[in-house]
Amino acid sequence: MQTTFPIATASRAEQLMQLEDQYGAHNYHPLPVVLNRGEGVHLWDVAGKHYYDFLSAYSAVNQGHCHPRIIGALTAQAQQLTLTSRAFFNDQLGAAEQQLCALFDYDKALLMNSGAEAVETALKLARKWGYQEKGIAPNLARIIVAEHNFHGRTTGIISFSTDGDSTGGFGPFAPGYQVVPYNDIEALEAAVREPHVCAFMVEPIQGEAGVMVPAVGYLAQAAAICKAHNVLFIADEIQTGLGRTGKLLACDHEAVHPDILILGKALSGGVLPVSAVLAADEVMLTIRPGQHGSTFGGNPLACAVMRASLDVLVEEKLAQNAAKLGEVFRARMRQIQAQRPEVVELVRGKGLLNAIIIRPHADGRTAWDVCVTLMERGVLAKPTHGDIIRFAPPLVITEEQLHEACDVIEGVILEF
């Protein structure tokens, strides 16, 4: 339904929201706030009101908004060279690939732009490896995925989505995928025994599904099962990687080294789209010239920004901060739950990727209403799947700032 505001009386924010509503596609349902400035964990709207960011652009802004070191790399490179395409070499790509491979211990990296492009890249790599190295008959390769997954919204990716909003009205869908329950080792083991299976792709923690954390040992067992059956283990760490869960990668909590690693979001500190797929030579070199690519993938500007973003992540010890403050945050949320169990049903998470489940109020109010009230009081978060609120502040947040935001959350929940 189109939102309208009387032009004569509308505020600047209302006018801007109306412009989006009138001229933009209605494929998002944002909170009614219009932002125009960010710094670290802070955001300000067009009226100058201050907020704590507890979404981090879905974990793309782990290093904080407009980190001066990342913006410095951006502006310096932007004045030098932004794009050549991969028709030529440039002086930034090789160094960026080397840094990625050294940090995550892989032979090769393939840079793309969006997270969805990186997922599509990983799927193509897995299939090509399956045909060329595992010996699967042409066009019969199968990839196993987890129920309630979220890997993107391209037509290829939604072919294995179990979310009706993502799939409704967009068929027909591509074959070659099998869905198994998340966090179910027995189901996975039964599926990978099929000889045409080339890979299992999974989010170490299902973020979009509501921060679903699997049982301890699930990832390690899944990786071992894949290895035993000559199946690639693909970890989609676009949202969980780069310090968010208290380790450099969420897989690091169980010492799992994926055969294919997918990164995105915070790879650029939220400055511009950068994604990457990492793998061993045996997998990556199955794709030859002309078989995959992107005009903007690996552009000099993105590479310079990515290198600075990784430096900030490591040198400022953001994963360690996430591990420490994640414990503090969940302790605060559980205190709130103990006071209002009829409102807060569950608290879960790892590092600074957390969620609480809100029981709908008798008068019809839901998690959305909690988020609107939080917004009014200066904390920005967003519900998912109706009753779940995801809390994921930038990893540069301090304990003092965290407690200040938790005080706001507590006040809103206690009054709900």
What pLDDT was estimated at residue 35?
Answer: 98
The encoded tokens of residue 91 equal 């002086």
Which domains occur in the chain, in start order?
31-63+318-415 (3.90.1150.10), 68-315 (3.40.640.10)
What pLDDT was estimated at residue 9?
Answer: 59
The encoded tokens of residue 273 equal 């789209």
Share above pLDDT 90 across residues of the chain, in percent, rounded to a whole number: 95
One-character DSSP codes across 251-305: GGGGT---SEEEE-GGGGTTSS--EEEEE-HHHHTTS-TTSS--SSTT-HHHHHH
Residue 137 DSSP code:
P
What pLDDT was estimated at residue 362?
Answer: 80
Kindly list the catalytic residues: 150, 236, 265
One-character DSSP codes across 351-365: TTEEEEEEPPPTTS-
Q: Which residues pair with 291 in a beta bridge?
A: none
Cα(225)–Cα(268) distance, integer angstroms: 33
Q: Is 44 helix (H, G, I), strand (E, B) or coil?
A: strand
What pLDDT was estimated at residue 2?
Answer: 47
Length of the chain: 416
Reduced 3-state DSSP string for 203-249: CCCECCCCCECCCCCHHHHHHHHHHHCCCEEEEECCCCCCCCCCCCC
Tell me the HSE value of 186 on the side-chain side, using a 13 A CA sphere: 0
The pTM (predicted TM-score) of the whole model is: 0.96
Low-confidence ranges of the chain (pLDDT < 70): 1-10
